[in-house]
Structure 1
Amino acid sequence: MPLYDFVVMVKPAVDRRNLVEFMTRVGQRVYARSGVVTNIKSFGRVNLAYDIKKRDGRFSEAHMMQMTFMVNPQFHQELSYLNKDERLLRWMMTRSRGNAWTKIGKD
């Protein structure tokens, strides 16, 4: 199973409890597909490089979280339900390259 990074930007009005609940649900989906969550990072409230326009306004700040997990490659299709979640500004799932230092040249 490959290693993936899942990054999410959530509206600043969302409280910490809802944010933890959201990340827990994503983690439970990973476990349900025999995956393994390896790391979760919170970057806190960050200023965005540009405003993101949604139906309920423009946002220049967001809560940013990252989850790293190993799961089957078809898992990204299961996350399509996130497009309908009103709490989210953006989300992205990318395949992780791992540790870049291990791939640099041979002596």
Structure 2
Amino acid sequence: MPLYDFVVMVKPAVDRRGLVELMKRMGERVYARNGVVTNIKSFGRVNLAYGIKKRDGRFFEGQMMQMSIMVPPEFPKELNFLNKDEKLLRWMLIKNRGSNWAKVTKET
């Protein structure tokens, strides 16, 4: 199973309970597919380089969280439910290639 980094940007008005609920829902989906959550990080409130326009306004700040997960390769196609969540500003799933994927070899 490949390792993915799930990064989510949540609206600044969402409280801690809402963040925990969102990450819990994602974790339950991972476990339902026999996956593993390896790490969860919170970056707190971050200022955005540009505003993100949503139905309820334009946001220049958000709360950022990251969850590292090991899931089957077909799992990313099942994340469409996140598009309907009103708490989210943006989300992305990045396949982690490890620390040695871009090694440069020396030619002598």
Q: 1:104 to 1:69 in 2, by over 3 A?
A: farther
Deviations 1:62-93 (A, max 9, x none): 00000001001111111101001000000000
Q: Which residue of 1 aligns with 2:96?
A: 96
Q: Show structure 1 runs of 4+ deviating over 3 A.
A: 100-106
**Mind listing any 5+ residue stretches in structure 1 that lack a counterpart?**
none
The whole-number CA distance in structure 1 between the counterparts of 2:44 and 2:65 is: 7
Count of residues in correspondence between the two structures: 107
Aligned to 1:35: 35
Q: Deviations over 1:33-82 (max 9, x none)?
A: 01011111000000001100000000000000000010011111111010
- Is it true that 1:10 corresponds to 2:7 in the alignment? no
Question: What is the correspondence of 1:56-95 to structure 2 with a 5 Å cutoff?
Answer: 56-95=56-95
Unpaired runs of at least 5, structure 2: none
CA-CA distance at 1:97 after TM superposition: 1.3
TM-score (norm 1): 0.93
What CA distance in whole angstroms lies between the structure 1 residues aligned with 2:67 and 2:20?
Answer: 12
